[in-house]
Amino acid sequence: MPANRQIHLDNRPKGEAQASNFALVDSETPPLKDGEVLVRHHFLSLDPYMRGRMNDAKSYAQPQALGQTMGGGTVGEVVESHNPQFPVGTQVVGMGGWQEYSVVNATLPGALRVVDTRHVPLSAYLGAVGMPGVTAYYGLVHIIAPKAGDTLVISAATGAVGSAFAALSKARGCRTVGIAGGAEKCKYAVDELGFDACIDYKEHTDAASLSAAIAAACPKGIDGYFENVGGMVLNAVLPLMNAFGRIAVCGMIAGYNGAPLPLTQPALILMQRLKMEGFIVSEHMEVWPAALTELGGLVATGKLRARESIAHGLENAPEAFLGLLKGKNFGKQLVKLV
């Protein structure tokens, strides 16, 4: 069995996460038992939700244990197998974590999923045709539930979730407006992802100014909003929501380091009879097959061309993750291990 390298959570952050919160550890790969497979990871996924799990606080998921491998999505290849359903050479997606290899009990339902890379790149199964894509699908289809002609807005528009949201929204005949950080990202959102407009929040220092810019791009108001950021961005969008608008709350990255996120006009939720619903995509596994089918088709036909930011080598995962939290990535953030 090969030697393995892992990234552990060494200590919990106090405020902003730091590289010193992580430790690179050498380990031995245990021998396989019946039903198990050894997966060599080709890519691992870095996602904003991982920051919340670094805290020892009440949340929708258990905190990341200290001294253990950081959890997260992976894609790779079976290199040794004691399970006839997953022969050597099978390409799979799973939750192998921040390490080069994982031993997986492949008899457990959902532990591994075989992927087809003939028309969809392996890395896309961690982004557009993976958890981020299904996240966009669930928030759009099952919470916002748009009609053709609706105006939809999403924050963090050029990330993995936002990229998929644009393709899914445009396929449903909606005006789709993004909010992103920086002129380059906004240009990419319009020119490559298909957004009708994109607002650069970095040009604005307060919610009123940002709200005016969003309003100019949404002359008929906003029917549905997909929230990834919170804070000033949510306060800018809320006054623009049409009556009976729907808000899918996926993330609040502005508060992940512990900063409070006051809502300045909560009465608007009542006045406009808004539906505002938070969700965790792993609690809705029943939608994954339909979502992955549509997303795979969009990627295979070139209608969804999401960018990837790729760090190379396991040792660079912590710095890439910290950059993701600061918006330094361009599209889906991955670490290439092979």
Which pLDDT band, with edges at 50, 70 and 90, does 280 fall under?
very high
109 with 147, same domain: the answer is no
Looking at residue 111, what is its pLDDT? 95
194 with 240, same domain: the answer is yes
pLDDT, average across residues 14-27:
96
Helix (H, G, I), strand (E, B) or coil at 88: coil
**CATH number reported for the structural domain that contains residue 250 in this entry:** 3.40.50.720
249 with 268, same domain: the answer is yes
Domain termination site, one of 266, 282, 298: 282
Task: Give the torsion sign (CA, 39, 41, 281, 119).
Answer: negative
Closest CA to 123 of 308, 298, 305, 297: 308
Residue 58 pLDDT exceeds 80: no
The rounded mean pLDDT for the chain is: 95
Does residue 301 fall inside a structural domain?
no
Does residue 23 fall inside a structural domain?
yes
Alpha-carbon dihedral 234, 193, 275, 141, rounded to 10 degrees: -160
Report pLDDT digits (tens) over 168-197. 999 999 999 999 999 999 999 999 999 999
pLDDT, average across residues 112-140:
96
Report whether 115 contacts 98 (CB < 8 A).
no
183 with 73, same domain: the answer is no
Looking at residue 81, what is its pLDDT? 98
163 with 48, same domain: the answer is no
Domain termination site, one of 282, 297, 325: 282
Does residue 295 fall inside a structural domain?
no
Does residue 298 fall inside a structural domain?
no
319 with 272, same domain: the answer is no
141 with 278, same domain: the answer is yes
Residue 253 pLDDT exceeds 90: no
Residue 254 pLDDT exceeds 90: no
- The Cα–Cα gap between 220 and 5 comes to 53
Q: What's CA 118's distance to the chain center, in Å?
A: 24
C-alpha dist (Å) from residue 132 to 35, 158, 175, 183, 258: 29, 12, 21, 23, 24
229 with 165, same domain: the answer is yes
136 with 276, same domain: the answer is yes
Does residue 49 fall inside a structural domain?
yes
Angle at 188 between CA 184 and CA 194, to 5 degrees: 150
Residue 258 pLDDT exceeds 80: no
112 with 135, same domain: the answer is no
C-alpha dist (Å) from residue 68 to 29, 95, 97, 190: 14, 14, 10, 41
Looking at residue 330, what is its pLDDT? 87
Give the chain's domain count: 2
**CATH number reported for the structural domain that contains residue 330 in this entry:** 3.90.180.10
Looking at residue 259, what is its pLDDT? 81
Which pLDDT band, with edges at 50, 70 and 90, does 101 fall under?
very high
Does residue 287 fall inside a structural domain?
no
Residue 59 pLDDT exceeds 80: no
Which pLDDT band, with edges at 50, 70 and 90, does 303 fall under?
very high
Residue ranges making up the domain that contains 166: 131-282
Report pLDDT digits (tens) over 215-245. 999 999 999 999 999 999 999 999 999 999 9
178 with 259, same domain: the answer is yes
For residue 27 the two structure tokens come to: 């380990």
Does residue 262 fall inside a structural domain?
yes
Q: pTM of the prediction?
A: 0.91
Looking at residue 245, what is its pLDDT? 98
135 with 278, same domain: the answer is yes
